[in-house]
Structures are given as C-alpha cells and as structure tokens.
Amino acid sequence: MIVRSQTSHIPPRSTVDLSPSYVFTDAARDTLRSAMLALRSHPYREQPAFRDEVAALVDTGAVPADFRRECEAAGRRDEVARPFHVVTNCPIDLELPVFDAEDPVGDKHRKKQTFVAEAYLQLYAVLTGKPPVSYKNVNDGDVFQDIFPKKSLYNSQSQKTLVSIGFHKDLANHFVRPDYVNILGLRSDPRNEIFTTFVRTCDLVEHLGEERVAILTEPAFYTPYDDLSVYGDKQRKLGDADKHAVINGRYDFRYFEGRTIAFTEAGKEALRVLDEALALYKGRMFMRPGDFVSIANNSSLHGKDVGAIADPEQQKIRWSIKTVNVSRLEDHARHYLAGRPGVVDG
Ligand SMILES: [Fe+2]
C-alpha cells in the first residue's frame, strides 16, 4: 500500500514517486517463490554459491521476462530524477519466525529455514547489475540484514530501533559508501503507523538555492559514526569521524537529520533551511509484506516515521530485510577482506 498525501503531516510539495514500477501477478510470484525454495546453497554460510545459484535462475523461466527488462532498465535510470524503484507483490517466505529481542540476528540464524526473501534481494542485484556488499562490523559481515528491533538498540538511530529515524543516507561516513539500499518488507501491522520516508536531493538543492548550496559544500560539518557501526566496532578502531561537506558533487548529501552539526553560523542557518526542505518534500510508504524499494543512496535521503502505535507487540516484531549495493564491486577492491570480494574490512 502506497500512502501519500493523506494526513496533515504529509507535505503538499512532495514530488517523490513511490508508485510501483512493477507488480508481480500472484501466479508469477508463486512460481518464482517455488523456484527459490528449491535453491540448495545457504545465503549466510555460502554466499558466493548462493549468488551463483540465484543468477542461474534467470534463464530457467521462473523469472518473468518483463521483470527482467524492468530491472535492467531500473539499473540504467536517471537516479537524480528517480531515486526510488518500487516493486510490489514480490515473493517472500511463507514462514516468518519471530526473533528474540535480545539477539534477533543470532536467533534468525537459528530459526530461519527458508531463504526466499534473500533470494529476491540477490535476484534484484543480479538483474540490475548492482552487487551487494557487506561489512565486517555490521551483523558480522552478513549480506542480508534485518530491519528488526533489538532491545539494546530500541532507542538508537539504526536498523534495530523502535523510534523514528531522521533522514540520512546509509553508511555516509564509511569509506565504502553503498550506492543503493534495497529493502523488502516482510512483516508489518497496518494498525501501526510506521512509515519509511523518502526525499530526493534534487528537490533539496532547488529549495536551498545557490548560496546555501555553496555553504553546504564547505567541509564545516560533522556527523558521528552511525550507531550500528559503533556498536559492531568491538576493537574501537573507528576513532572520530572527520569534518565533512554536506553536499558533495551536486546531489550527494552526507547528512543525518538531528545528528549532523555545523561549526559556522552560516552553516547552522543552511541546515535549518535544509531541515525545513526535508519536511516539505518528503514522501512516505507503508511497507507491506512483499513491498520492495531500491533507493539510490547518492541522490536521496531516507528515514522512518513512527506515529500512533495500536499494537506495541507487533511493533517489536516488525521486519524488513535489506542489502546495501554498489555500482561496481571492483571500485572498492582494496577494502575487502582477503579472499572475500564484497566483504568490507570495516
Ligand atoms: Fe538507512
């Protein structure tokens, strides 16, 4: 369900197009799910084999030809004008276990026996030509990560939180910044107002005007490392983040709403106007099971709005699964663990 401009806090100026570009028919979804259930490799223990097995699905007839064409076109789209690619009624697992709030990732590894959602994310990566990367410090290097609340991080600004998350791009501070964030909804209670939020940076640039854009291009801002990287950095090797510009190039915003600070008065004024623009131009989406969005991480920002919660227990088991992807694996080759291309040492 795409929810746009329905309530008073959805801004009238939102230009974000979250309408699905492709909707699986029930029959095509079920055929693809059956093929994915028959895969033999383990997506967490045998990532390269899993990737190759999913890639081999493409020529079996289980992948609709028009979906293949749609994804190939999405991989070549103008990402500044269209940072968001939405697909709905995607195949997901029929059995969705509930995880222990103390250790949801460990519990997933114990309980999740089918890997349809993982296969869908891998298939999308293959068809768009944008491979996933993983990070040693984030969920121990898993490619497939959960947006699932974890008790110790309930109030953090991370994928494991219960609270709203300010607008940001994923891993903006990291030396391997992903080009895409791909999210597939698995479990969400429609009575709980939890929305994924989106904004195009081209709208922010337009609203800010040339003078403020110039101010935001100066390296006079600071953002602490994201909560999940710090949490996973057991040896405390990350240190402090650097001073940085908010706008890099024309549309790439290194910004975390509520966390990034300015060191100059002009910078503070520019951030105030930027926050105003975020509220004006944002769109949002209620991610139903099987709803998928691919986010171009360098020409947009995203976040999460939590409104009225009718069922707090359901909120604690809301679940989406995601990957972060890059345009070309070889661009980051020097950062990978030895013998493990795509697994970032950091
Ligand atoms: Fe994010």
Question: Which amino acid appears at position 137 of this protein?
Answer: N
Q: Which of 241, 222, 220, 221 is nearest to 230 (CA)?
A: 241
Neighbours of 326 (CB within 10 A): 21
Judge whether 186 and 321 are in contact, CB under 8 Å.
Answer: yes
Q: Which residues contact 243 (CB under 8 A, 6 or more apart)?
A: 219, 220, 221, 222, 263
**Tell me: the pLDDT tens digits for 104-121?**
999 999 999 999 999 999
In this predicted structure, which of 226-230, 239-243, 326-330 has the lowest mean pLDDT? 226-230
Q: pLDDT grade, residue 239 (50/70/90)?
A: low
Q: In which region does residue 224 sit, left (phi positive, over 0), alpha (psi from -120 to 50) or beta (all else)?
A: beta
Judge whether residue 160 has pLDDT over 90.
no
Distance 174 CA to ligand 1 centre (A): 13
Across residues 192-215, what is the average pLDDT?
97
Judge whether 30 and 116 are in contact, CB under 8 Å.
Answer: no
Judge whether residue 5 has pLDDT over 60.
no
Distance 60 CA to ligand 1 centre (A): 34
Distance 324 CA to ligand 1 centre (A): 10
β-pairing, 22-23 with 292-296? unpaired
Distance 224 CA to ligand 1 centre (A): 15
Kindly state the tokens that stand for 63. 């992948």
Q: pLDDT grade, residue 139 (50/70/90)?
A: confident
Distance 142 CA to ligand 1 centre (A): 16
**Tell me: the pLDDT tens digits for 247-276?**
999 999 999 999 999 999 999 999 999 999
- The structure's pTM equals 0.92
- For the chain, give the mean pLDDT: 92
In the block, residue with structure tokens 């391997």? 176
Distance 172 CA to ligand 1 centre (A): 10
Q: In which region does residue 85 sit, left (phi positive, over 0), alpha (psi from -120 to 50) or beta (all else)?
A: beta
Distance 302 CA to ligand 1 centre (A): 6
User: Cα–Cα distance between 80 and 7 in angstroms, integer?
Assistant: 27
User: Cα–Cα distance between 216 and 213 in angstroms, integer?
Assistant: 5
* pLDDT number for residue 255: 96
Distance 23 CA to ligand 1 centre (A): 24
Judge whether residue 228 has pLDDT over 70.
no
Backbone angles phi, psi at 68, to 5 degrees: -60, -45
Distance 147 CA to ligand 1 centre (A): 9
* pLDDT number for residue 11: 58
Distance 40 CA to ligand 1 centre (A): 31
Distance 30 CA to ligand 1 centre (A): 29
Distance 56 CA to ligand 1 centre (A): 30
Distance 72 CA to ligand 1 centre (A): 24
Q: Under DSSP, is residue 233 helix (H, G, I), strand (E, B) or coil? A: coil
